[in-house]
Structures are given as structure tokens and as C-alpha cells.
Amino acid sequence: MVTKEPKAKELTRGNRKVGWRWVAVFAVILVAAVAYVFLGRAKTGAPQAAAQAGPAVRAIPVGAVTAKKGDMNVYIVGLGAVTPVYTVTIKSRVDGQLMEVFFKEGQMVKKDDLLATIDPRPYQAQLLQAEGQLVRDQALLKDSQIDLERYRVLWKQDSIPKQQLDTQEYLVHQYEGAVKMDQGLVDNARVQVVYTRITAPISGRVGLRLVDPGNIVHAADTNGLLVITQLQPITVIFPIPEDSLPAVLAKLKAGQDLPVDAWDRAEVKKLSSGSLLTVDNQIDTTTGTVRLRAVFKNRENELFPNQFVNAHLLINVLRDTVIVPAGAILRGSQGTFVYAVRPDRTAEVRMVAVGEIQGSDASVQSGLAPGDLVVVDGAERVREGVKVELRMRDKGTPRRGG
């Protein structure tokens, strides 16, 4: 029994040693696994952190211009049509054969220029007949007047009755009436002969020929022979909103001359300059507009009848105002603003009060000063405080119609 107790103790000690060995192995394995996991995360996380850090933020390229101080013309614009002052359809005033034409299509003619002739022979014959009748009745009148003087002498001598003298007086009156009627026929026949020569009633441009020589024309024809349109001067009729009418009437009442510029339909080229002539006498209730007529000298024939043009009526001039491109003006929930560029090339939201906008220009009443840089192109990518890379579009603001 004494010999068995040490063996039991040795077995217990041996089992404990084996258990601690397994615990140590497990601990080593656990530490290695944890180290492996952390090292793996560190390796994979480093590129992500590097990617998140990335390079420095690049400046946003934008187009910018400098706000300028100057005068801005304020216009009322309306789409109008070129309308001649006079347009005349030339018709024959007598019936007959068209003998000759003395004009070319598209030719400029002056007043009283000979345009065409109609066969005058029938009317010359009528004139000759009327003149012959006049001479005959004038002779009869003269003879009756001589007899009347004789009858008066005889009546005073009591050689003829009073009735015979009265009859002779009435005969003289009849011949006087006949002579007047003959004179009217002569004058009418002369006018008919004159009408066989067709002349220009106004100066202007001849249109296309409507009747060829050799045709029989009539005074009752509706088409006429040709059309003459006056080109110098010429007018433009254009509408403006009724809300703009009081300002125009006030200028006219004060005796001011209101300039009007005629631009092409694309608003690219100014065709001619003139002045406001008159205002229509009523407002069109269907459109809420009133028609105006402007007159142009049209010396170079820049304007053509029935041509559509954009009429720019100069109504006011803003003196010494800050001017920026209209594209720089933005609108937000708090009002109108622009992106101004600070000296350190960062963007700044600047609230502005906008006055008039004319074409591509806008006047700023407050919020900007001359010399400030404002963003025009690329504003959709700009935010407060971001760095910008400037690309100056031009040194000034575009002006149109000035």
C-alpha cells in the first residue's frame, strides 16, 4: 500500500503537465490567429484609407468677366413689318390698246415719269369733233348776238314788236349754253387724250409688269398695269405692351425724339436707324398691345416692304450703372445672386439687386462694384468657398443695340 501512493501522485502530476501544455498550444494558436486577422485588416485598410485621403482637391475651371461701369440703353422691343408710306396700283383711266411700256421691272422711277401709252387715236378724233362743234356753236352765238343788237335798235324805233326782241334774247342764251356744253366736251376729250399717257403718281420702285403691250386694257380692270411702292422714306409698324404705353406717350408729349433701330429677325444685324412717328389711337384688346409707326430714311434700301424686323425703341438710358453679362445672374430661394471671385480665387455667393436686362447685359443696382470678378461659365459646379481656376472670357461685357 505504501508503494502505490507515489505512483498515483506521479500520474496526477503528469496529467496536469499535459493539460498545461495543451493550454499553452491553444493560447499560441489564438494569438497567431488574432495577429493574422489584425495584420490582414491593416493591409486591406491601408489602401482604402489612402484612397479616401486621395490627392488634394483641384480647382474648378470657370469663365469669368469683370463688372464694368457705364451707360445702358433701355429698349422696348417688338416684332414688326416694314410698311411703305405709299403703295399705288397703276391702272388705265381709259379703254384701249396698250401700245408701249417705258419701264423695267424693279426700276426706280420718279414722279411724273412716263410709264406706258395707250392708243390715243380714238380720243384724238373725239377731241377734234368736240372742237368742231364748239366752233360751230360759237359762230351761231356770235350771229345771234348781232341780230339781238339790231332788234334792240328796231324795237326802240318801234319797228318790231317786243315779243320778237325777247325771242332773240332767249336764242342768244341758248347758244351761250351750247357753247359752254361744247367747251366741256372739248375739255373732257383733252383729258381722255392725256390719260392715254400713263405717268408715275409717286416716286418709288416698280414691281412686276402685270399687262404686256398689245393687250386691250379697260378702266374697269381690277389688277392694273403695275404697282409702285415708295421706299424712301419707309416705315415700320410694330406692337408694344400696353403697360409700356404711358412711358412712350410721356416722352412724345414732352417733345422728345425717340430713336428706333430696326434689327433682322435673328437679332444679329442692325439694318437701319430711324425715329418714332406716331402711336395708334387704340389698344388691341385681344393681344393687349398698341401699334407704333416708326419712319426710316432708308437711303440704302436696307428695309424692304413687308419684311419682318425687330424694332428697338429707345425709351431710357441708365447712366453710370454696373453692368455684367445676364448669364451671370442666378436665382435662388433667397433671391438673385452671382458667384463673385475673391482675391484668393475662391467663390463667394453675392446677393444682388438686378435692374434692367437688355439682351445679353444686365444692370446691377446693388451688391457689385466695378472691377469685381463674376462667374459666367461653369456656375453650376461652383459652391460657396470652393477654389476656382479663372478663364477670362473677355475684358468687357457684350453690348447690343447701343
- Residue 375 domain flag: yes
- Give the whole-number percent of the chain exceeding pLDDT 70: 83
pLDDT at 47: 41
Q: In this predicted structure, what is the pLDDT of residue 356?
A: 87
Phi, psi at 216, each rounded to 5°:
-85, 125
Same domain, 323 and 383: yes
Residues 275 and 345 in one domain: no
Task: Please check whether residues 112 and 215 belong to one and the same domain.
Answer: yes
Give pLDDT tens digits for 305-355: 999 999 999 999 999 999 999 888 999 888 999 999 998 999 889 999 998
Average pLDDT over residues 209-228: 93
Beta pairing, strands 68-84 & 308-325: antiparallel
Whether residue 255 is contained in a domain is answered as: yes
Q: How many domains does the chain have?
A: 4
C-alpha cell at 346: 475662391
The average pLDDT across 187-211 equals 95
pLDDT score recorded for residue 159? 87
My answer on whether 215 and 105 are in the same domain is: yes
Kindly state whether residues 267 and 355 are assigned to the same domain: no
* pLDDT for position 119: 96
Task: Examine the fold and report which residue of 318, 352, 382 is the final residue of a domain before the chain moves on.
Answer: 318
Indicate if the pLDDT at residue 20 is higher than 70.
no
Q: Would you state the cell numbers that stand for residue 7, as one nine-digit string?
A: 505512483
Residue 360, pLDDT score: 85
Q: Output the pLDDT for position 50.
A: 38
Grade residue 127 by pLDDT with cuts at 50, 70 and 90. very high
Residue 133 lies in a domain: yes
Helix count and strand count (H, E) for the chain: 4, 22
- By the 10 Å C-beta count (0-12 exposed, 13-18 middle, 19+ buried), 121 is classed as exposed
Q: Is residue 34 part of a domain?
A: yes
Please list, in sequence order, all residues whose beta carbon lies within 8 angstroms of the beta carbon of residue 347, skipping any fewer than 6 positions away.
62, 339, 340, 341, 375, 382, 383, 384, 385, 386, 388
d(CA 158, CA 165): 11
Residue 247's CB is within 10 A of a number of other CB atoms, namely: 16
pLDDT tier for residue 87 given thresholds of 50, 70 and 90 = very high
Q: Does residue 89 belong to any structural domain of this protein?
A: no
Report residue 72 as a C-alpha cell: 445702358
Q: What is the pLDDT of residue 22?
A: 58
User: Over the stretch 137-146, which tens digit does the pLDDT of each residue have?
Assistant: 999 999 999 9
Q: CB of 365 within 8 A of CB of 356?
A: no
Q: Is position 138 within any domain?
A: yes
* Per-residue confidence (pLDDT) for residue 104, from 0 to 100: 93
Residue 304, pLDDT score: 94
The domain boundary residue, chosen from 318, 352, 369: 318
Q: Are residues 126 and 181 in the same domain?
A: yes
Closest CA to 359 of 393, 391, 402, 319: 402
DSSP 145: H
2 has a pLDDT exceeding 60? no
**Residue 157 CB contacts under 8 Å (≥ 6 apart), including other chains:** none
Percent of the chain with pLDDT over 90: 65
**Averaged over 370-385, what is the pLDDT?**
88
Identify the pLDDT of residue 24: 62
**Is the same domain home to 176 and 262?**
no
* Backbone dihedral region for residue 252 (phi beyond 0: left; psi -120 to 50: alpha; all else: beta): alpha
366 forms beta bridges with: 353
- The pLDDT confidence band at residue 388, using thresholds 50, 70 and 90, is confident
User: What is the average per-residue pLDDT within 383-392?
Assistant: 84
Q: Name the residue range of residue 175's domain.
A: 97-221
Find the mean pLDDT for residues 233-259: 94
**Average pLDDT of the segment spanning 67-96:** 94
Count of beta carbons in the 10 Å neighbourhood of residue 130: 20
33 pLDDT higher than 80? no
Residue 30 confidence (pLDDT): 62
In this predicted structure, what is the pLDDT of residue 208? 93
Residue 9, pLDDT > 70, answer: no
Cβ–Cβ < 8 Å for 340, 64: no
The answer to whether the peptide bond before residue 233 is cis (omega within 30 degrees of 0) is: yes
- Say if CB 397 and CB 324 are below 8 A apart: yes
DSSP string of 12-44, one letter each residue: HHHHHHHHHHHHHHHHHHHHHHHHHHHHHHHHH
Query: Are 351 and 388 part of one and the same domain?
Result: yes
Tell me the average pLDDT of the chain.
Answer: 86
**Look-up of cell digits 439682351:** 359
User: How many angstroms separate the CA atoms of 366 and 373, rounded?
Assistant: 15
Q: How far apart are CA 379 and CA 63, in angstroms?
A: 8
Task: Please say which residue of 318, 344, 374 terminates a domain.
Answer: 318
Position 288 in a domain: yes
- Kindly report the CATH number assigned to the domain that includes residue 337: 2.40.420.20
Average confidence (pLDDT) over 154-179: 92
Q: What span, in angstroms and rounded, lies between the C-alpha atoms of 31 and 125?
A: 141
Q: Are residues 290 and 378 in the same domain?
A: no
Same domain, 333 and 246: no
355 and 333 in a common domain: yes
Q: Is the pLDDT of residue 93 over 50?
A: yes
Q: How confident is residue 391, by pLDDT bands cut at 50, 70 and 90? A: confident
Each residue of 36-63: pLDDT tens digit? 545 444 444 434 433 444 455 578 888 8
Specify if 90 maps to a domain.
Answer: no
Half-sphere exposure of 98 (CA within 13 A, CB side): 22
Question: Positive or negative, the Cα torsion across 91, 97, 101, 106?
Answer: positive
Query: Do both 2 and 50 map to the same domain?
Result: yes
